[in-house]
Amino acid sequence: MPDESDYLPLIQRVLLREQQTPGALLPILHAIQAGIGHIPDVAIAEIAHALNLSQAEVRGVISFYHDFRTTPPARHTLRLCRAESCRSRGAEALAAQLREQLGLDDHGTSADGALSLRPVYCLGACACSPALELDGQLHARVTPERLRALVAGCREEAKAC
């Protein structure tokens, strides 16, 4: 894992390119996350200084938008639909299975860094409930057995590396 100071050249390039842009904070945050995979602590101080903001203001924006991350992302992201159609077809039981199988809450990342769980409120697959999205790929009519296999596949891949 890189040291946070390794990120400084990228952060400084982004700041030089974007700091004069009106409303620069969001484009800067997006660019840093796109380049690094998350927004490290070292970036917060640099951004605050460059934009004449407090670190609390920068952190407030990061925490307001759910797509910004301050820690490296998991290798896989599982988004389980929790909308009414999926709930009525067993999504809550699947969510409970995931919490137990992975030992985390609805917004957590497994201890091995293999999988992060994110609830969503409609994947547009209501006719095929319950549905989930794993790394951008839709899986419909998910059963407990199929979910167990999907999660196991993500974890086995991590062990193989």
- Per-residue confidence band for 160, with pLDDT thresholds at 50, 70 and 90: very low
Q: At residue 132, does pLDDT exceed 60? A: yes
Does the predicted model carry a pTM greater than 0.75?
no
pLDDT-based confidence at 15, cuts 50/70/90? very high
137 Cβ neighbours under 8 A, 6+ residues apart: none
Peptide bond into 2 cis (omega under 30): no
Question: Which positions ≥6 away from 86 have C-beta within 8 Å?
Answer: 80, 123, 126, 129, 130, 131
CATH 3.40.630.30 fits 76-160, yes or no: no
* Amino acid of residue 115: L
Do 81 and 121 meet the contact criterion of CB atoms below 8 Å apart?
yes
Q: How many angstroms separate the CA atoms of 43 and 18, rounded?
A: 14
Confidence of residue 68 (pLDDT cuts 50, 70, 90): very high
The dihedral through the CA atoms of 146, 152, 155, 160 has a sign that is negative
Residue 73: pLDDT over 90: no
Could you tell me which residues come within 8 angstroms of residue 26 by beta carbon, excluding any fewer than 6 positions away? 61
**pLDDT attached to residue 158:** 55
Distance CA 153, CA 13 (A): 38
Q: Give the per-residue pLDDT at 157.
A: 67
